[in-house]
Amino acid sequence: MPTLPLEAADIMRIIPHRYPFLLVDRIVELEPGRRAVGIKAVTANEPQFTGHFPGRPIMPGVLMVEALAQTAAVAVMALDEYRGKLGLFAGIDDCRFRRMVLPGDTLVLKVEVEKLRGMFGRVRGVASVDGDVAVEATLSIIIPRDQVMGGGTSDA
């Protein structure tokens, strides 16, 4: 298991996301294939705040869900059997937004793997700020056998 915490460079060895779309700054807890806790420091200079919304920046809900999905991807893709593969979003269920997330907030991203079998997984995620739930959702992922992180295909 990797040494914790995982910083951005460590995370980028597990998932393919890069700035400006890497939405997890650090992984502070990790049990590969079971659970992970990530941290996202929300800052005013992030590109989405230019237009969402001018004069009243609010983190878009879809980006909160994406941050959960990236944390989930780390939890799953940290397993040896999936290392180097590309995990893709397959669905979002039971998603509820509970509070706004603003610049200056620290988003705590907690995910638990509910099911992981072959190419398919289901993960429950909750993101919170200061203990208040901001968003919760069940995320489905698929890991195509022939897709690798660099964008090519594997012969495996």
Q: What is the CATH number of domain 8-142?
A: 3.10.129.10
What are the boundaries of each domain within the chain? 8-142
What is the set of active-site residues? 52
- CB neighbour list of residue 107: distance below 8 Å, 6 or more residues apart: 39, 40, 41, 42, 59, 64, 67, 101, 127, 128, 129, 134
Omega before 5 cis (within 30°)? yes
Decide: 13 and 44 in contact? Cβ < 8 Å: no
What does the pLDDT profile of the chain (156 residues) look like in tens digits?
Answer: 679 999 999 999 999 999 999 999 999 999 999 999 999 999 999 999 999 999 999 999 999 999 999 999 999 999 999 999 999 999 999 999 999 999 999 999 999 999 999 999 999 999 999 999 999 999 999 999 887 887 544 444
